[in-house]
Chain A
Amino acid sequence: MKHSFIDEYSHLNSVIHRLDPRTKLIASLAFILAVMLTPTNNWLVFAFYFAIIAFMLAFSQLPPIYVLKRSLVILPFVLLIAIFIPFFREGEVAGSYNVWLWQISITYNGLLVLTNVIVKSWLSILALILLSSTTRLNDLLKALRQLGMPQVMILILSFMYRYIFVLVDEVMRLRQARDSRNFGGSWLHRLKTIGHMVGTLFIRSYERGERIYAAMLARAFDGQVRTLYQLSFKRADAFFGAAFSLVLVLPYIIRL
């Protein structure tokens, strides 16, 4: 079965794709940090950061529509968390409403913070999309490893990415089998069936885990994880790193 992959376009070959994953990882984190540290009402700086990311997206040859769609996925999460901010901020009141017993009011200050949260998270997610779509997950994990992330975490992420789609397939097959046998009945009965499915899935995953471990043992695995490092830090990476850090602090140098 066909699934969407987070590194769907990572096989393209652009200037950005060719950079060392470590360079990209650090640059992305630096970008996000710079965006986060930008003062609330500094819209020019936000526009400048957006220009940077748009410029790099253009270079990366990713389809713009794809990037846009992906980036919108984050909005519900942000809204869920941030939607109440305008109601709780102190300041000049923008609007006041009576809801049953309560009177609630929205402040300009609160609205500003809300917009700010949305803009910041959108810029950050754009950077992460750029990173994950131009780097194969395998390389990204190697980069994380070389930058000092514990091996156990790398293994967990790697197994998760490898088997999440196998699990999704399994769920889909279970569901098809269930629906083919006229799934229905009372609410309680249905809930029970779903409970059984979750249980079955857990046991199957557990057994699969044991089989995978046996397959690892059969190939001389002794608990020690070894990898070949095939990353190479090239001159282009040094140039990119230097130029990118300069651009990031540019707004502060020219006092935008």
Chain B
Amino acid sequence: MGKVIEIQNLSFTYPDGHKGLSGVDLVIGTGENVALIGPNGAGKSTLLLHLNGILRGNSTVKICGLAVEEKNLKAIRKKVGLVFQDPEDQLFSLNVFDDVAFGPINLGLTESDVKQHVTQALQWVNMSSYEERSPHHLSVGEKKRIAIATVLSLDPEVLIIDEPTSNLDPRSKWSLVELLNTLPITKIIATHDLELVRALCHRTVVMDEGKIAADGKTEDILTDIPLLRAHGLSK
């Protein structure tokens, strides 16, 4: 099994002195579905931003064997599809087509390739007829799907999603879970939603205060009530 993500002893301090991450070690292999859970402010989002070099800490992060460095950024950002929590931030174009095409165009693909990638990505998320719609008119569930399509169009090797089910009603949530289950790709999902974790991920990493508190099989971690309670994940 190849390694998609290798992180050794990663620490990160925000410019205001606030400690974001300290001493994180994490290896994720090809094809794994990993959940990243933890209380608010545990450092989940900060960790995700390190996985495609938007933030860079003081240690080695390797993505598909490539070190996260200035010269590799473009290659890494093609391999890592990062979906942000608020689709309002992710979708910044005036219509869905332009948003989904944004990544492929930046990679310098030809016009027909770009169109093909967009069509394919929208097909994966079942939103084929939405090309000409404006993001502002979509429902939250639709926005989330389009947001996922905007990174799928880059043909990534790993899909990283921050809080995919926040603000979704149960029906949209379960249809999203179904969609994510059908995508044959390595997935890392940061969330508070333990139902989602149970339905999607075989491995779970618990984070708290910028450190990894536990890492193991989902069924073991989700049944360890004292552990969950200690990290604010159970009442």
- A residues touching B (Cβ–Cβ < 8 Å)? 136-138, 141, 158-159, 161-163, 165-166, 208, 211-212, 214-222, 224, 226-228
Given A220-B74, A220-B77, A228-B101, are A215 and B84 neighbors across the interface (CB < 8 Å)? Answer: yes
Which parts of B35-66 form the interface with A (CB within 8 Å)? 49, 52, 54
| Apart from the given pairs A138-B95, A216-B92, A219-B103, 12 other A-B contacts in the complex at a CB distance below 8 Å | A162-B94, A166-B136, A208-B88, A215-B82, A215-B89, A218-B82, A219-B150, A219-B154, A220-B74, A220-B78, A221-B106, A222-B106
B196 adjacent to chain A (CB < 8 Å): no
Are A226's CB and B106's CB within 8 A? Answer: yes
Are A220's CB and B106's CB within 8 A? Answer: yes
SS class of chain A's interface: helix, strand, loop or mixed? helix
B90 adjacent to chain A (CB < 8 Å): yes
B178 adjacent to chain A (CB < 8 Å): no
Query: Lowest 5 A-B CB distances belong to which pairs?
Result: A219-B103, A220-B106, A211-B89, A138-B94, A218-B82
Are B94's CB and A137's CB within 8 A? Answer: yes
Residue numbers in A under 8 Å from B94 (CB-CB): 136-138, 141, 158, 161-162
B34 adjacent to chain A (CB < 8 Å): no
B interface residues, how many (CB within 8 angstroms): 33
Given A161-B94, A165-B136, A215-B84, are A221 and B102 neighbors across the interface (CB < 8 Å)? Answer: yes
Residue numbers in B under 8 Å from A217 (CB-CB): 52, 54, 77
- B residues touching A (Cβ–Cβ < 8 Å)? 49, 52, 54, 74, 77-78, 80-82, 84, 86, 88-90, 92-95, 98, 101-103, 105-108, 111, 114, 135-136, 150-151, 154
Q: How far is the CA of A224 from the CA of B154 in the complex (A)?
A: 17
* Nearest chain B CB to A209 CB, angstrom units: 9
Q: How far is the CA of A215 from the CA of B160 in the complex (A)?
A: 12
Residue numbers in B under 8 Å from A159 (CB-CB): 92
Are B88's CB and A158's CB within 8 A? Answer: no
Q: How far is the CA of A159 from the CA of B78 in the complex (A)?
A: 24
Q: How far is the CA of A217 from the CA of B54 in the complex (A)?
A: 7
Are B151's CB and A218's CB within 8 A? Answer: yes
Q: Considering residues A165, A215, A222, which has the most beta carbons from chain B within 10 angstroms of its beta carbon?
A: A215
Given A138-B94, A162-B94, A162-B135, are A220 and B154 neighbors across the interface (CB < 8 Å)? Answer: yes
Are B89's CB and A208's CB within 8 A? Answer: yes
* Nearest chain A CB to B111 CB, angstrom units: 5
Given A138-B98, A220-B74, A220-B154, are A215 and B92 neighbors across the interface (CB < 8 Å)? Answer: yes
Q: List 12 A-B contacts (CB under 8 A).
A: A138-B93, A162-B94, A162-B135, A162-B136, A163-B92, A214-B89, A218-B52, A218-B54, A218-B81, A219-B106, A228-B105, A228-B114
